[in-house]
Structure 1
Amino acid sequence: MTLGALEWVPALDRPDLLAAPVAQAVHELGIEAAVAEIDPALSDTVEFCERYGVALEESANCVVVTAKRGGELRYAACLVMADRRADINGVVRKRLDARKTSFAPMADAVELTGMEYGGITPVGLPEGWPVLVDTAVASHPRVIIGSGVRRSKLAVSGEALAGLKAAEVLALSL
């Protein structure tokens, strides 16, 4: 498969391009995904899209958020198209029944997910974390997301992402 200026191969053919929890989830869940190697210095979405000829409308970003209520701290992931922003303080806060939501500190996100910052993806997140998938992502035939490492990207259908065990599809983008 080709998309943009990249050569894509089945993800399980190149587990070296996936973070360990991502490779495990792709294998165990039977997710149809393709992976492409990229320059890790270009893993941030805008730079990636410009360099490799992939439209922002074909890419999605995954952010890890913290939800606080009554001294309890919980984590969740939000997946939105790259040309949109997640409504962290509105839709996400209400869905997680939190008094306050914010982006998780980088060190916490990396340690808890087993993934590299800038490559965090909804595939292979810790058990029990809600994965809030925007309706635009869920309905997309194929989106480009992180692979758990900065040196590659995954291509996967929105349907597969919406079908993740902990996924919930809702209108969460601004």
Structure 2
Amino acid sequence: MSIGTLEWAEAGQRPDLLAEPVARAVKGLAGGGAGIRVAEIDPALADTAAFCERYGVRMDESANCVIVAARRGGEVRYAACMVLATTRADVNGVVRRHLEARKASFAPQEEAVRLTGMEYGGITPLGLPEGWPVLVDEAVAAHPGVVIGSGVRHSKLALPGATLADLEIAQVLRLAN
């Protein structure tokens, strides 16, 4: 899989380019994460628009992971939503209803970083805390090769969208509005 101008390597062979929970998750996948690639990037360019421009990756080849805090009563539950960079997750509609929450919003940055053990701008669905669902937009699930975070700002992962859809904790929905 070749996306943009990056030099890709098998993610399982480069755990130094992954956050620890991501490295564990990749290693635990069937086939040791075969088919998941990683590339080193300038951490100052981890944000989607700057990354895509610098490395020749189209916005519709990049997917963002947003952490949502869903509240009902006194309980807060977390979920990750994966949408293409060209779209936005319908957090207050589809996501809130799917999570059966009274209110849903983006988790505060510090909270998302603390709970995931990943760097802001690199949070990814691989290696999330146990029990967190991963809501994958249909367009991401159908994508032949999408770029996502690696848990750190100095690299990115590339994988088929089906790999995300096949995660045990994943649910494929129409998330984008």
Distance, in Å, in 1 between the alignment partners of 2:5 and 2:146 is 15
* Matching residue of 1:5: 5
Distance, in Å, in 2 between the alignment partners of 1:39 and 1:149 is 11
Cα deviation digits, residues 31-66 of structure 1 (max 9, x gap): 330000000000000000000000001000000010
* Matching residue of 2:169: 166
Identity %: 68
Distance, in Å, in 2 between the alignment partners of 1:67 and 1:91 is 12
Distance, in Å, in 1 between the alignment partners of 2:60 and 2:109 is 25
* Matching residue of 1:131: 134
2:50 is paired with a residue whose SS is helix
* Matching residue of 2:90: 87
* Matching residue of 2:21: 21
Equivalent residue runs for 1:20-169 within 5 Å: 20-29=20-29, 30-31=32-33, 32-169=35-172
**Residue correspondences, number:** 174
**AA in 2 matched with 1:115:** M
Query: 5+ residue gaps in structure 2?
Result: none
Tell me the TM-score normalized by structure 1: 0.98
Distance, in Å, in 2 between the alignment partners of 1:41 and 1:17 is 15
Cα deviation digits, residues 114-165 of structure 1 (max 9, x gap): 1000000011101100100000000001100000000000001111000111
2:44 is paired with a residue whose SS is helix
Tell me the TM-score normalized by structure 2: 0.96
1:57 is paired with a residue whose SS is helix
Distance, in Å, in 2 between the alignment partners of 1:121 and 1:98 is 23
Q: Offset of 1:13 from its aligned partner?
A: 1.3
Runs in 1 of length 4+ with deviation above 2 angstroms? Answer: none
Q: Offset of 1:3 from its aligned partner?
A: 2.2
Distance, in Å, in 1 between the alignment partners of 2:145 and 2:125 is 15
2:118 is paired with a residue whose SS is coil
2:135 is paired with a residue whose SS is strand
Report the aligned-residue RMSD: 0.8
